[in-house]
Structure 1
């Protein structure tokens, strides 16, 4: 299999992780959704165009010889708007009897099946290279990715020939629902002494007339997040400023940039996230304020009352950042937002929207006694004025009631956040419960406290010392005194604060992921007999795709031929219905150091000792020759973070119980995980959760880790204060991370923990936990989380280690509330 690699810097790209097969090979895309312009025979129809499958005569083949001027196509209906990132193709192999394949193809796509657009790469080329034989699959990344429901592959040839194709598409659902945005075209920035930056929307696929973009999508939805320096790009062979779309103040005849956003259906909007550059010393800042108006239908007028939001400008930190704009749960199918300048330039690289499940109109539609609100657009027959008057009265009453309910929910949400903010009165939330048992009940109305417009804004002033571990001695002089810790010990590490860098690096997994920390495990004691799993024949591992990589190794998705027979009965393998078994393979690179090799063997020994339904299991190894490999289970549904962020789930407690059960097992063996988070919880077909350690090796989650002076890499937003400040990792610090993981689950992984705090502010907040003066910031209560469960989370974040619950207590507290 061959593959185009992602561009440099793709660690911040949605395309780098949104690479799930969409269902051609496994049949989730049904036959009726696959059509074609023609077919040679019934047995070479479009339904046979499935990658790695050989039903019928082995592939889709258009009728007759394909001419250079022909436009034959294979069309796939994905059933919903999809963020499409990768295309895989094969020819017709037909069990060694076929030899037809396409050397090139073009790609057309459509949101509605009516208006079709042609894909082109970032340099304007519409043709993509495909296969040079009939059996090897060729995987091509789409640069840029596209958002579409319908896709057409059009084989291209330079001379008359017979072609056949098999296909798989890769991506993930496009839950934003955004179908187009309109804006002024981006502009040139020509500063003296610097390269010219072209800040145009170069991949926009809509109309471009009179310096206005309309009816399409482009760089603001391609998943690529611009860097702090807007002149530095994440793509190869492009111009400075490529990742941003930017405008100069005054060039548009107003002090703002107006953009319109159109969606697939009416939605109930909670927030908008805008990734903005803030290189203020070059005249670039995030917008000073934004005003958004709403349209319930495209043919309606803009509603009179916009939502307005004013940002808190930052003249000390030039980092690019996401600005989250609350949209007040307004219902609309289109938005018009005016972003007001704060300086000479304003630059965006990504805009995304979050919308809730049900809006007011949806609630009205669900009432059997109320007519559809869209009925007011229909002619009045004048025969039932009394009935209409009654219905209108009912609708108005329902609207008032629903408005009051939503207002109360909004007030409750705000009031729940307020006690966990740093106010002038230094209000904080404390726990009074001492029991491990929780009672899930209806949330009570919290007490009224004073409010601030923008939570977490300017809570801390950024201080460069927090980027230097040694600087903590100046910021936290208490750490240099011989004070007792919360568990009654006086360890030597307390006199000199550090990040336990040596310990952390030596225990980093060779793929960049965190190994389990195990007491008294030495390299000298490791021999082949210590490894309790069998040696698997290396030639039976067939590479499918790379899942992640680190400093000394890589994680691959592979097919394992004959693995069920090799492992025997009772092996933890899913029923594949005759299809090849998929496994995850960690492979040590050939140039790895001796220390990395020893760490790899340690990890194998550790993993071979783990046997629990909620822990990822090591199946076998390849260590008789280089490169060293370990083969583990592969979970079809990916990781929990991606799974929840793309779905609305109801069994969140059941997921929480499974994670607590797996961690209870690790704690019983005195194993410390040190990187527990939803990104490290994987799901199989039956939604069984298994705890793993792949998260750090995947580009998608690079922003979840903080590099200390370019050395140790730490998931600081999940770490207990003593782990960050003292380098102390224990089961109690895993409990802290479990609380953050619960918070992720009940926010459906819609945002990063402490998303409004920078990494340095998160570290400074751990200093407030150490001081314990009531100034520490806690995560807010998720809307889906009962108060008693949030109280359990808060106990996980107790400053005193001894007061945190155990995993056994957490499991016993959560388990009774899961519906069996």
Structure 2
């Protein structure tokens, strides 16, 4: 038995690293090693163009695979290959249908989808983020394309792409080698961005990771740590394919991870006996980067088993002389497992990995005797096997007569089966108890719509909720109180003083000292309050104007509105007939917003008018128009909005140009920015690179994004100095002109394009909850502090190029539940993750905007100053 076990281990392949430059072996489409049954397709034109004819350089059938009918640009037809094992795929070659010079169909472009398990399909993207692979230009030449990054997969789909209606056909061959490392997924904290004086911004994220990113943690995929490309000694040097410095590395900063280590989990395709793990690590100690000081790994034998208690630990010898990157080999002492969890401990400020590989052998569990070899063919007649085979069977077949050993074996097997069944029952009960406990814990924290009714005041947007009577308590108090969305008890600051930490401060604090104590705006001027050490947030007698678009652009103190109503502020009356309608931009409850051409507006306003350069073109303006059936309250609010907007004069705030109020319908004319809103502008662009320049792809640079951020902070600083609260700050409400000048507006809610950004409570109140501070959602408190929170989310939008909605993985109800976690402050709240291109110090600024306590949030004045240090030319 010992000899057999040794033989089984020696026959098993021992894994090593894969070099993509040498892993380029044909996988068997041309020579038939990939069987017909493993080649399928979404459709086929004829039986003679079925998927089994998609073999490179072969002419069976009608010469290729062709999907049914002509391919439309929106069609998704695919050729699917099952490779029967995990493959490290590096090259794809394609041909069209030649059919002995009678075919004329080929795929000009195509894309790839792959899956390691046949259930979850992933779209392949190259290192520049593009899904499209250029295909053939004729029917006979084979076009060979290297995959950067390579793909680790079992299943592959080739999906032809067309810009017009075409008939396409394909023949293919794949190149690569077996993925004997066995690693199917790794999990780790998200990589971070390094910012150091005198060095370029260096994002160290795993940019090719094909798993999930949630709560700043990567899980369920593979990426740069398994692409076979090791990083250079100087991590900021650029390779030919790289988009930014540090691309080859995934890195973490010590002080951003509380425990002082990076924890990674590795999942494998089967149980393996591990010899060692090799980690390629950077060691540029002059920049605060070193290999890890030690590592501790624990093992899990089966997917359903617990982590074993005994770890394998390894301590490295730190090197402060040689800055070269190097492989560190960690002995794993031949431990068997299907999963590993390793903690890499920091030796300096940063730790960076570019590759991780494992040396292991697949565990072969021997039976009691070696298996009997059966020859491929039989000799003799009547189905009888040869004498040699029969003798081998006689030597290995147990005796049919009973024996004490056979009885003992049966009893042992029965006991083992019984123990296994008991363990399964115990595990099921444990899991069930955990599930029940989680449900019981979560139930009190859910914010249920049916428990809340909304009553809206006709003169403002103050939302009051009425909760059903609470039954007498018959049990111990829960560990935290139940809270309801905009509950009336939370709108009363006096009732909150014993509930919220920031409300427990003395009510006698001066008005200029800030906090949530309600200020008396008569005790200090807005400028004085704004310059105090803690920002002043006016909360008493806030007047909310119901805007034409359905939003409330500015909530302002009653003192300000009173002074406006007593003072006649003249605004130029523009001839209505000179407004030529172009298109409707949006609509709200009481009016509409139109894009109009204003004839002679420049001459009407005279010199110094805030108009864009015309260059002989007509002046475009946005016209907010009140509906004829609007209520008297809406009409009064509209006139007040005109008076407020006439007082606003800042280059980063949308400006009121003129009005048409001498007759109905009432109109106000504001600036219109030709580049539209910032959300649409950024979502249609990519980060600036040599590729975008070479292909004329619309792009923006980091400097552009910082310049935009500075402008928004400048406009909000101006509003805050007047104690104005925007209440709906987001990229959809920031407009741009041709010079990338930003002006803050309030058009976002009126546009159907952004209806998904707003959450409707009980079918009436509409709130941008993904941008709102927790106290705004739970308490109905809209202040400059809540605008600061929204500004942090707006920054996050900017540095993700608006490719994703905030908290995109959470439903609206889960977003609201998350605000409850901020209220309870038990460390369970979910924050937005750092955008890949965002400097770490800038993300720290965002995190300060999302501070739970409002006194910890920076003022717009400080935000403006901080952002200017990032973009000194703004």
Bucket of the pairwise TM-score, normalised by the shorter protein? 0.3 to 0.5
TM-score by length of 2: 0.45
User: Which has the larger Rg?
Assistant: 2
